[in-house]
Amino acid sequence: MAEFDFVAAVRWAQFDPKKTLSRRKDGDLPFLADAAEAGPDLLLDTSVYIDGLQGRAPRLIADMLALRQVNHSTIAIQELMHTVGVLDPNHPGTQTAVNQIATTVKDMPSHRTFAPDSDVLGRAALLSGMLCRLQGYKADARLRALHDCVLFLQAQKLGFTVLTGNVSDFDYILQLIPTGRVILYRQI
């Protein structure tokens, strides 16, 4: 397990753009091309699973997943299971949703599912804290920012590219760490 470097992290935390980050134009962001292409391994954001289950993922996503090595994060499992926990057990659609999520999680091969180490977790906590401060995030947006930052830094450390439909939050993260690799898409 990688050791967390507190001193380096504190130096990193000194970065302050002195303003709230603004959402950039789509043309300035790394959106999915018009055709799926081979490339680096992917690490899927939870949005990819949810959009797929709800029929909101563009067809190009399935094409890309067929071309590239697909990897999973325990962060996505955590977010999917959180969804199971918040669903109303008395709602008529809950059992179907739970079954779909169960199948999704079971289909993640263990040799392609990665847990973040202490270095990633520590740096992600710092990065999400910076985002929360800069963007004025409150309540559940803070937890979402933490999960996004863990996934982003985990992908960076493993040499993967994050695939996500979460355009706004990953735009902000890329503004703070432009060296990360992300492919964005819009839901249909």
| Superfamily of chain region 36-184 | 5'-nuclease (3.40.50.1010)
Among the residue ranges 9-18, 62-71, 153-162, the one predicted with the least confidence is 9-18
pLDDT at 99: 96
Average pLDDT score over the chain: 92
φ and ψ of 97, to 5 deg = -60, -45
Q: For residue 128, what are the CA distances in angstroms to 31, 50, 133?
A: 23, 22, 8
Whether the predicted pLDDT of 162 surpasses 80: yes
Q: Minimal CA–CA distance to 129: which of 111, 117, 115, 141?
A: 141
Q: Minimal CA–CA distance to 9: which of 130, 179, 159, 154?
A: 130
Q: Minimal CA–CA distance to 185: which of 10, 34, 73, 5?
A: 34
Q: Report which residue type is found at 29.
A: L
Q: Report which residue type is found at 188.
A: I
Rounded percentage of the chain residues whose pLDDT exceeds 70: 93
What global pTM score does this model have? 0.91
Q: How far is Cα 161 from Cα 183, in angstroms, rounded to an integer?
A: 7
How far, in whole angstroms, is CA 123 from its chain's centroid? 15
What is the mean pLDDT of the segment spanning 88-104?
96
φ and ψ of 88, to 5 deg = -70, 115
For the chain, how far is it from start to end, CA to CA, in angstroms? 39
What is the mean pLDDT of the segment spanning 70-94?
96
Q: How far is Cα 2 from Cα 117, in angstroms, rounded to an integer?
A: 6
Among the residue ranges 9-23, 49-63, 77-91, 127-141, the one predicted with the least confidence is 9-23
Whether residue 112 contacts residue 72, with contact meaning beta carbons closer than 8 Å, is answered with yes
- Domain ranges in the chain are 36-184
Helix %, strand %, coil % of the chain (to 5): 55, 10, 35
Whether residue 46 contacts residue 79, with contact meaning beta carbons closer than 8 Å, is answered with yes
pLDDT at 1: 56
Whether the predicted pLDDT of 5 surpasses 60: yes
pLDDT at 87: 95
